[in-house]
Amino acid sequence: MTKSFWLSALICANLFLLTGIALFAGTPQSAVAQPTGLAGNFLTVAGEIQSKHDALYIVDLRSRLLHAFYVDRTNLRFVYADTRDLERDFRNNRD
pLDDT at 33: 63
pLDDT tens digits for 3-49?
Answer: 889 899 999 999 999 988 877 776 666 766 665 666 668 888 888 88
In-domain check, residue 4? no
pLDDT tens digits for 40-86?
Answer: 688 888 888 877 778 889 999 888 999 999 888 888 888 998 999 99
In-domain check, residue 16? no
In-domain check, residue 26? no
For 43, phi then psi, to 5°, come to -130, 130
Domain that holds residue 57: 37-93
Which residues lie below 8 Å from residue 81, measured CB to CB, with a gap of 6+? Answer: 49, 55, 68, 69, 70
In-domain check, residue 17? no
pLDDT at 65: 93
In-domain check, residue 49? yes
In-domain check, residue 59? yes
Q: What is the pTM of this model?
A: 0.53
In-domain check, residue 25? no
pLDDT at 37: 62
C-alpha 36/C-alpha 65 separation (Å) is 19
pLDDT at 24: 76
Number of domains in the chain: 1
pLDDT at 14: 94
In-domain check, residue 62? yes
